[in-house]
């Protein structure tokens, strides 16, 4: 219940702010990809300004996520190798336990 209230308190104002932002920035702008001839219609794109801002935000999030994922690769590799080592050690401990039980079974009881 507390999580729902917290989410409501965070996402409701954020949604309202985004709606206001979109309404305030709905003017159509042209993004020209040809710096030498900005009036070239082939290499230009017209859309409301907030669309370009959202696309930039999404691209930035994707690039940041990819950079973080690549940067943390060494930690994932270390976790994999340590997990494999832990499995090997557990298997060896199981073999030693079985061997110790076999030895204990062959000892004469008092």
Structure tokens at 39: 């009036």
Q: pLDDT digit string (tens) for 5-63?
A: 988 899 899 889 989 988 888 899 998 888 888 788 888 899 999 999 899 999 999 99
Answer whether 64's CB lies under 8 Å from 54's CB. no
> Structure pTM?
0.63
Confidence of residue 110 (pLDDT cuts 50, 70, 90): low
- Cβ burial 1-20 (10 Å sphere, 16+ → b, else e): eeeeeeeeeeeeeeeeeeee
Answer whether 98's CB lies under 8 Å from 90's CB. no
Confidence of residue 108 (pLDDT cuts 50, 70, 90): confident
Residue spans per domain, the chain: 21-30+41-106
Percentages helix, strand, coil for the chain, rounded to the nearest 5?
75, 10, 20
Distances (CA, A) of 81 to 71, 78, 87, 93, 94: 17, 5, 10, 18, 20
């Amino acid at each position: 219940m507390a999580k729902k209230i917290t989410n409501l308190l965070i996402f409701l104002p954020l949604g309202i702010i985004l709606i206001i932002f979109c309404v305030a920035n709905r003017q159509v702008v042209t993004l020209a990809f040809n710096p030498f001839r900005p009036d070239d219609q082939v290499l230009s794109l017209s859309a409301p300004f907030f669309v370009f801002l959202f696309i930039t935000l999404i691209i930035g999030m994707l690039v940041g996520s990819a950079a973080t994922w690549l940067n943390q690769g060494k930690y994932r590799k270390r976790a994999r190798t340590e997990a494999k080592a832990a499995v090997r050690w557990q298997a060896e401990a199981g073999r030693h336990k079985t061997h110790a039980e076999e030895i204990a079974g062959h000892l004469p009881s008092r």
